[in-house]
Amino acid sequence: MNNKILGLNGFLWFVGVVEDRLDPTYTGRLRVRALGHHTSNKEILPTADLPWASILLPVTAAGITGLGQSPSGLVEGSWVLGYFRDGDSRQEPIIIGSLPGRPSELAQSGGFYDPNGIYPKYKDESDVNRLAVNLKEDNVEVNPHLSLTLRRSTRITGVATADVNPVKAADGSDILGSDGDTFDQPEIPYSAIYPYNHVYESESGHLMEYDDTNGSERI
């Protein structure tokens, strides 16, 4: 029976690649090319002719009046999982989530790739943030995150402190003097172990880390 009632018309799901996120309605919709449903030939089916897919937000986002997080985390080239709420018509896709992986190649021409050629930025490594992975070989970091490298290289040491003569404080305790002493910025405390470092990174490089690594917890 060809039932058109939502929820009774079967569950037609898909895996696909985001090719456009510039939703003119500003509601977070994306154009997705779905494997097995759409051809990779962009002359037959250009990106502009793909149906707009809506985003299924988590319960931490109200999805109304701008409350909670905005539905704008996915980028061109992201692999996603979803379903068609209109069944066999396949014109109303809903994105349930994204699928990180381990890209074996960078963006190419044709369908199922980022049309802008930006993502993925790396190949032959996990899509999980490098700060969360902290990959090591023989206890040596492999491909450390650029922000970590920069923080370490710009750490300032040997900062001169003011010369101070020893004095007695009002409570009678001694305040030690300083003559030519120096001060070092603290060492970078990063010592993450996968999977305990929870990382958020924006496209321009804004970072948040909530690291639950035992003995190296930090924000």
CATH code of the domain in which 82 resides: 2.40.50.260
Average pLDDT per consecutive 10 residues, the chain (219 residues; last block may be shorter): 68 96 97 97 97 95 91 95 94 97 94 96 96 95 95 92 86 84 91 97 96 97
State whether 142 and 186 are in the same domain. yes
The last residue of a domain, from among 98, 116, 141: 98
Is there a domain that residue 115 lies in?
no
Is there a domain that residue 137 lies in?
yes
Given this model, what pLDDT does residue 44 score? 97
Given this model, what pLDDT does residue 177 score? 80
> ω into residue 120 within 30 of 0, thus cis?
yes
State whether 16 and 94 are in the same domain. yes
Given this model, what pLDDT does residue 132 score? 97
Range of the domain at 85: 12-98
Is there a domain that residue 1 lies in?
no
In whole angstroms, what is the distance from residue 219 CA to residue 207 CA?
11
CATH code of the domain in which 135 resides: 3.10.450
Nearest to 130 by CA among 117, 148, 114, 118: 148
Is there a domain that residue 190 lies in?
yes
Is there a domain that residue 105 lies in?
no
Q: Specify the number of domains making up the chain.
A: 2
State whether 87 and 143 are in the same domain. no
Q: Where are the beta strands (DSSP E) in 78-213?
A: 79-84, 93-98, 136-137, 140-141, 159-160, 167-168, 174-175, 182-183, 197-201, 207-211
State whether 135 and 85 are in the same domain. no
State whether 87 and 136 are in the same domain. no
Terminal-to-terminal C-alpha distance of the chain: 55
Is 0.95 topped by the overall pTM? no
Is residue 110 helix, strand or coil?
Answer: coil
Buried/exposed 136-146: b ≥16 CB within 10 Å, e otherwise: eeeeeeeebbe
In whole angstroms, what is the distance from residue 61 CA to residue 69 CA?
5
State whether 80 and 135 are in the same domain. no
Q: Could you read off the pLDDT of 161-207 as tens digits, one per residue?
A: 888 888 888 998 988 888 778 889 999 999 999 999 999 999 999 99
In whole angstroms, what is the distance from residue 128 CA to residue 145 CA?
12
Is there a domain that residue 140 lies in?
yes
State whether 18 and 94 are in the same domain. yes
Given this model, what pLDDT does residue 1 score? 47
How, if at all, do strands 207-211 and 197-201 pair? antiparallel
